[in-house]
Each structure stands twice: as structure tokens, then as C-alpha cells.
């Protein structure tokens, strides 16, 4: 029961976790380190969100009626690749690649925040892309009594591009930067009942970004309309620290109860390029998020297992960034795993009801409203034992 159900649970909880708080995507899971012997693992998730909203017609371009945002969130993939081996009877090693954070947002060109108020200024739309790649090297030392200690180093690469036309056609494009953080944790297992509890801490990672900022200054002699001022600058950002609590236990023959709690300290992430016109930060968050999941798996035969998962993240109830106009969610996922001699092949699907959100705008009376949004996610995973 243990090894077959674990693959299903990891897929349902991990591969389709595409709409947690902030920019969270992979969940930074480390379940691969608990595989027996040596193994390689490949996982690919795909999320297709539907996120739309409206904003008051502050420029009078829509006859005073609310202006639609268009489909704001683009679809995205979440890849995962890992290798695990037992160095000794007591010491395991794993190398994991994932993309822990990301964004791909673009509004309609008619949306009020996509309109450049500078006469003759460049035209664009409110948009943002952010990409991260991380490689984590982990060691796990097993003590007597089922206890183990986990520790490792994470190398993370970050780059981003953001355009905010309403602020004088502002745009910033960063170069890629690589920096390092760490992972530490503890775990307890009792294989006889398929029980395991693990607690891991992911450190914040500080990046020094080189970037190109540009905007349209107000035209006045000798500055002609449409002039673009460009600045080469630097900024420091921190991707946030987080804590993952994962648990599972057999509760009946061929039945596994599992779940997780993830805390992410989003207020640590502040991005404030020096030439961004408003007095507020370009990107920041008011509150940390807690994301919960709970699932039940069942082994139908020696070859096939299935699982259902429920997910929840409470809404914050405060205005959110236009670069991520969502606030909380609930989700349901279904997954199945088929076991061959050396391989476990899994597939899963998840539906996410995205929480309604109020997004920052041009003052309290001109904020965006996003309601009735959702996302579908699918995932595929294969874990192949090398011994």
C-alpha cells in the first residue's frame, strides 16, 4: 500500500497546485527524498485559469460603464524533475528541480490601468511575467525510532518583466539573477501503518537584480511627445521563507489519509524599483498565507490506486495586487496511479474555485473587482526505481 499510494498523493497535492497564495506554484515539496532505494522522477502539471474582472471607467472611454479586464491569467506549466539515491543505510540524497514561483498576467489594452495618461506616450497593456528555476540538493539522515533529519542547499534563478502603462508608461525588465538559500527539516515514519510526518523550513532567498526601467516623461520643451527615458538600475528582492507540514497514515486496510499545511511569508517579498513613479511599491503583500490540503487514497488492486484531495486557502479580505488578482481558493482533485514492475505512472485533475478579490487601482473609488473565477489543472508523473 505505502509506495503505490504515495505516488498518487504526491501527484494530487503537488503537480496540480497551481493557484496557491501570491506567486506560489510548486509548493516546494520534497517527497522524493522518502522514496525507497534509488529512483528518478518526472512530473509535469498544466493549469488553465479563468480570471476576469472589471474596473470603473475612470477615463470615460466606455460610456461610464465598468471596463472589463479581459482574460487576465495565462495558462502555465509546472515541471518537476528529481533523482534520489541511498548513499548508505542511514543517509539518502536527492536532487530536485522545480519552478517554485511564477506569474503570467496580461490585461486588455482598454483596461483603465493599461492606458498611458502621458500625451503621445507609448501604448501597451498592464502585464507581468516572473519566472523562477530552482535546484535543491537534499540529504536525509535516518536515526533510530523512525526519526530523520533533512537539510540541503537551494540554488534559485529569478527574472521578471512588468509594464504598468497608467504610471507614465512605466516598464521594467530585469536580468536573470541566481542566489542561494537552504532547507532544513525533520521527519518521523512508521512503515507498518504507512505513517509519516515531515516538517520542513525553506529559507528566504535574496536576489540583487540588474534592471532596465523606462517611462514617458511629461512633454514640455525641449522634451518632445513620446520621449522614453531609460534608466539602468538595481534592486534587491527576497523570495519568501516558508514552512511545509506534510502528514499521512493508514486508517484502514488499503486506505491512506494524507494532507499538508503550507505557510508562506509573503510580506518579505517587496519589489520597489527606484524609478517607479508612485510612492507605493511596485509589488508587495500585506499578509502571509496558509494553504491546507486533505486527501484520502485507496488501493483498488495490486496495480492501481486512487485518491481524492480537497484544498483550501482563506481569503485575506484586503485589496490585492493587480499582478495577482485572486484572494484564497478551494479545490478538489482526483488522481490515480498504476504500478508496473519498476515504474509508477500517475495522472490527476484538479478544479479550483478562485476566491473573489478587490485589486488595487487609482484610489479607493477606482479598484478592480474580480469574481466568479476558476482554474482547471492536470498533471502527469512517472517515478522509476533504479534498483
CA distance 166 to 168: 6
Q: What is the pLDDT of residues 188-221, one digit of tens each?
A: 999 988 899 999 999 999 999 999 999 999 998 8
Over range 55-72, report the average pLDDT: 93
Q: What is the DSSP string of 117-171?
A: -STTPPP---EEEEEEEEEEEEEEEE-GGGEEEEEEEEEEEEEEEEEETTTTTEE
Domain boundaries, the chain: 2-385
Residue 374 pLDDT grade (very low, low, confident, very high; cuts 50, 70, 90): very high
Residue 279 pLDDT grade (very low, low, confident, very high; cuts 50, 70, 90): confident
Of 200, 261, 271, the C-alpha closest to 238 is 271
Instruction: Give the pLDDT of residue 323.
Output: 83
Query: In a 10 Å sphere around its CB, with 0-12 CB exposed, 13-18 middle and 19+ buried, how is residue 287 labelled?
Result: middle
Query: What's the chain's average pLDDT?
Result: 91
Of 240, 157, 158, the C-alpha closest to 204 is 240
CA distance 98 to 199: 19
End-to-end CA distance of the chain: 19
Q: What is the pLDDT of residues 280-334, one digit of tens each?
A: 899 998 899 999 999 999 999 888 999 999 999 988 888 888 888 999 999 999 9
CA distance 301 to 299: 6
CATH fold, domain 2-385, is Porin (2.40.160)
Instruction: Give the pLDDT of residue 1.
Output: 43
Instruction: Give the pLDDT of residue 237.
Output: 97
The cell for 335 is 488522481
Instruction: Give the pLDDT of residue 5.
Output: 55
Is pLDDT of 3 > 70? no
Amino acid at each position: 500500500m505505502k509506495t503505490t499510494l504515495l505516488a498518487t498523493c504526491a501527484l494530487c497535492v503537488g503537480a496540480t497546485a497551481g493557484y496557491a497564495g501570491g506567486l506560489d506554484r510548486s509548493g516546494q515539496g520534497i517527497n522524493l527524498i522518502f522514496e525507497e532505494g534509488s529512483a528518478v522522477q518526472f512530473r509535469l502539471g498544466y493549469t488553465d485559469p479563468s480570471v476576469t474582472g472589471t474596473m470603473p471607467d475612470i477615463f470615460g472611454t466606455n460610456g461610464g460603464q465598468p471596463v472589463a479586464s479581459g482574460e487576465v491569467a495565462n495558462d502555465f506549466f509546472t515541471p518537476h524533475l528529481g533523482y534520489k539515491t541511498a548513499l548508505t543505510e542511514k543517509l539518502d540524497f536527492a536532487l530536485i528541480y522545480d519552478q517554485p514561483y511564477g506569474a503570467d498576467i496580461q490585461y486588455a489594452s482598454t483596461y483603465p490601468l493599461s492606458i498611458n495618461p502621458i500625451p503621445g506616450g507609448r501604448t501597451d497593456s498592464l502585464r507581468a511575467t516572473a519566472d523562477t528555476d530552482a535546484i535543491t540538493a537534499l540529504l536525509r539522515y535516518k536515526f533510530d525510532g523512525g526519526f530523520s533529519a533533512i537539510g540541503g542547499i537551494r540554488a534559485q534563478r529569478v527574472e521578471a518583466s512588468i509594464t504598468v502603462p497608467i504610471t507614465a508608461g512605466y516598464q521594467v525588465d530585469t536580468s536573470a539573477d541566481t542566489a542561494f538559500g537552504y532547507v532544513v527539516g525533520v521527519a518521523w515514519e512508521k512503515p507498518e501503518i504507512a505513517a509519516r510526518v515531515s516538517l520542513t523550513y525553506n529559507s528566504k532567498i535574496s536576489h540583487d537584480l540588474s534592471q532596465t526601467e523606462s517611462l514617458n516623461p511629461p512633454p514640455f520643451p525641449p522634451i518632445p511627445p513620446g520621449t522614453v527615458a531609460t534608466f539602468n538600475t538595481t534592486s534587491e528582492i527576497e523570495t519568501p521563507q516558508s514552512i511545509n507540514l506534510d502528514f499521512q497514515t493508514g486508517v484502514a486496510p488499503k486506505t491512506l489519509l494524507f494532507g499538508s499545511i503550507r505557510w508562506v511569508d509573503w510580506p518579505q517579498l517587496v519589489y520597489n524599483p527606484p524609478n517607479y513613479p508612485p510612492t507605493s511599491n511596485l509589488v508587495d503583500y500585506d499578509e502571509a498565507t496558509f494553504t491546507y490540503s486533505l486527501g484520502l487514497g485507496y488501493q483498488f488492486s495490486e496495480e492501481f490506486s486512487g485518491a481524492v484531495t480537497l484544498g483550501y486557502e482563506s481569503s485575506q479580505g484586503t485589496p490585492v495586487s493587480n499582478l495577482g488578482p485572486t484572494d484564497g481558493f478551494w479545490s478538489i482533485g482526483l488522481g490515480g496511479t498504476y504500478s508496473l514492475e519498476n515504474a509508477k505512472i500517475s495522472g490527476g485533475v484538479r478544479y479550483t474555485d478562485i476566491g473573489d478579490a478587490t485589486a488595487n487601482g487609482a484610489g479607493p473609488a477606482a479598484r478592480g473587482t474580480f469574481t466568479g473565477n476558476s482554474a482547471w489543472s492536470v498533471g502527469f508523473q512517472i517515478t522509476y526505481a533504479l534498483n
